[in-house]
Chains A and B, each alone.
Chain A
């Protein structure tokens, strides 16, 4: 039986995300996809969903939904007050939802992005191989809007499954962004690199699904400009103004600014949970270390 959520309040910005569209970067299409894969994969794991099943990525909260039919759902990610029919519930824990129930999200008090997932995901048609909404590219539909209906297949699963508290992330800790050297690394002199790795930076208001602009110590490169080249996930661009920009999943595919390297994926996930004025620092690690850290992360969620 088909059920779904009717959107009563759409919040500031909420989008359907899965792991993004792959293979179209060569024609300028960004991958998009869930920004915080830690919260994303845990939501699917708690629901026994298939790896990469789509869900809502909600910036700050403020979303109100009315259920039609029943299912099991979970919220993960940013800390937010949530109620079902006015009764407070926990995040990182699965709940049954019944016909007519109203889920109401407050606003995040820690972290930025809340993930709302249902058993087996929303029944939404893929566009170019993914359900992910790419806001800038207008691909995969629009951000959530009032009166939208998000269909799901009615199903129930054992509820009250929970990610143990000590494994839940603390988004208020000082974030260390681990970086592998790459791209134009050689065009940054040793003293500039030292500045970069020994300063702390603040997240500016210019942060979105495309990237996070940071403010702090300015870094200079010997580079007079580069020929536009493809941009990898997590790339740290240093434009002429000298302040770093970390590029995330909705980044432009090609760009002409020098890059000192790239933040590793697991730390990009955490960066996406920071907010304006959060402090971050960069730390240089080797490519081998980076692989080991990321492998450890993905081992929990998939076989490889």
Chain B
């Protein structure tokens, strides 16, 4: 099911489903790369998210009707466009110390678990990168174990340190830079999420599979992490 809708005078949004899930995510990803490969005339930006893709276009030169037709055509033939769909498996080192895992203890209390159990719940699962957004290089990943899943903080922090690894509901993410935020923080990674030296600037890409690897404080510092 594909549903086209106006987003603004210069953008169309295509919905591939209503609920977050891997099959919709797969369709989003396939469509996203097919649209990128197609290099459609007048297309300016293609932005994927969990269940949708937004396309901004030069509305001075083409119309909503025409661009929808062009996009639909590409998507109907999405399978014919071959592109590398192998999923990358990426391991991200995280230091889960109490001085960086700002919400670890509160979470443990809330769930009646030990801090170690909280960490192992976060580490044991492999996560799928659904979208990169909110801020440069910020990966939205899912799904977190249902025992661990927790809503955002009632009072968001004014400053969440760079590299912070957090959860919100059944999603997990990494803050690429110091910024305000309401996710529950479990630890910190020394890896830069956004850098000019990376191909495509973002460390993670939509469709990557991510596992978190617990590291010691020493290793965190050695890898360039800052406390």
Residues of A within 8 A of B (CB): 22-29, 128, 136-139, 180-183, 227-235, 252-255, 261-262, 264-265, 287, 290-291, 294-295, 298, 304
Q: Given the complex of chains A and B, what is the CA–CA distance between A20 and B51 in angstroms?
A: 27
Q: Given the complex of chains A and B, what is the CA–CA distance between A136 and B176 in angstroms?
A: 12
Q: Is B191 on the interface with A (CB-CB < 8 A)?
A: no
B132 cross-chain contacts in A, Cβ below 8 A: 26-28
Query: Which residues from 115 to 131 on chain B have a C-beta closer than 8 Å to any C-beta of chain A?
Result: 131
| Binary interface encoding of chain B residues 177-194 relative to chain A, with 1 for a CB under 8 A from any of its CBs, else 0 | 101000000000000001
- 10 residue pairs of the A-B complex, CB under 8 angstroms, read A26-B45, A26-B47, A26-B206, A28-B135, A138-B177, A182-B6, A183-B5, A227-B49, A230-B49, A254-B134
Q: Given the complex of chains A and B, what is the CA–CA distance between A232 and B45 in angstroms?
A: 10
Besides A227-B20, A230-B48, 7 other CB < 8 A contacts? Answer: A27-B136, A27-B137, A136-B179, A230-B54, A231-B54, A232-B7, A294-B9
Would A228 and B49 count as touching, CB distance under 8 A?
Answer: yes
Closest A residue to B47 using CB positions: A230
Give the shortest distance, in Å, between B50 (CB) and chain A (any CB).
5
Would A229 and B50 count as touching, CB distance under 8 A?
Answer: yes
Closest A residue to B7 using CB positions: A232
A182 cross-chain contacts in B, Cβ below 8 A: 5-8, 13
Would B9 and A253 count as touching, CB distance under 8 A?
Answer: no
Q: Which of B60-68, B99-107, B216-224 faces chain A?
A: B60-68
Q: Is B200 on the interface with A (CB-CB < 8 A)?
A: yes
Say whether, besides A27-B200, A227-B18, A252 and B46 are in contact (CB < 8 Å).
no
Closest B residue to A259 using CB positions: B7
Closest B residue to A31 using CB positions: B45
Would B136 and A137 count as touching, CB distance under 8 A?
Answer: yes
Give the shortest distance, in Å, between A296 (CB) and chain B (any CB).
11
Give the shortest distance, in Å, between A297 (CB) and chain B (any CB).
10
Would A253 and B134 count as touching, CB distance under 8 A?
Answer: yes
The 8 Å CB contact of A230, one of B10, B13, B135, B202, is B13
Would A28 and B136 count as touching, CB distance under 8 A?
Answer: yes
Query: Which residues from 1 to 33 on chain B have a C-beta closer than 8 Å to any C-beta of chain A?
Result: 5-11, 13, 18-20, 32
Q: Which 9 A-B pairs have the closest CB atoms?
A: A254-B133, A262-B8, A230-B54, A232-B8, A182-B6, A230-B47, A27-B202, A232-B11, A232-B7
Interface centre among A23, A235, A253, A261 (most CB of B within 10 A): A253
Q: Is B150 on the interface with A (CB-CB < 8 A)?
A: no
Q: Is B52 on the interface with A (CB-CB < 8 A)?
A: yes
Give the shortest distance, in Å, between B174 (CB) and chain A (any CB).
12
The 8 Å CB contact of A232, one of B54, B64, B131, B138, is B54
Would A229 and B13 count as touching, CB distance under 8 A?
Answer: yes
Give the shortest distance, in Å, between B221 (CB) and chain A (any CB).
24
Would A291 and B63 count as touching, CB distance under 8 A?
Answer: yes
Would A262 and B201 count as touching, CB distance under 8 A?
Answer: no
Would B45 and A22 count as touching, CB distance under 8 A?
Answer: yes
A252 cross-chain contacts in B, Cβ below 8 A: 133-135
Q: Given the complex of chains A and B, what is the CA–CA distance between A242 and B92 in angstroms?
A: 39
A235 cross-chain contacts in B, Cβ below 8 A: 7-8
Give the shortest distance, in Å, between B68 (CB) and chain A (any CB).
12
B108 cross-chain contacts in A, Cβ below 8 A: none
The 8 Å CB contact of B8, one of A23, A27, A234, is A234
Q: Given the complex of chains A and B, what is the CA–CA distance between A265 and B56 in angstroms?
A: 13
A287 cross-chain contacts in B, Cβ below 8 A: 6, 9, 64
Would A254 and B7 count as touching, CB distance under 8 A?
Answer: no
Say whether, besides A27-B202, A287-B9, A230 and B53 are in contact (CB < 8 Å).
yes
Closest A residue to B20 using CB positions: A227
Closest B residue to A289 using CB positions: B9
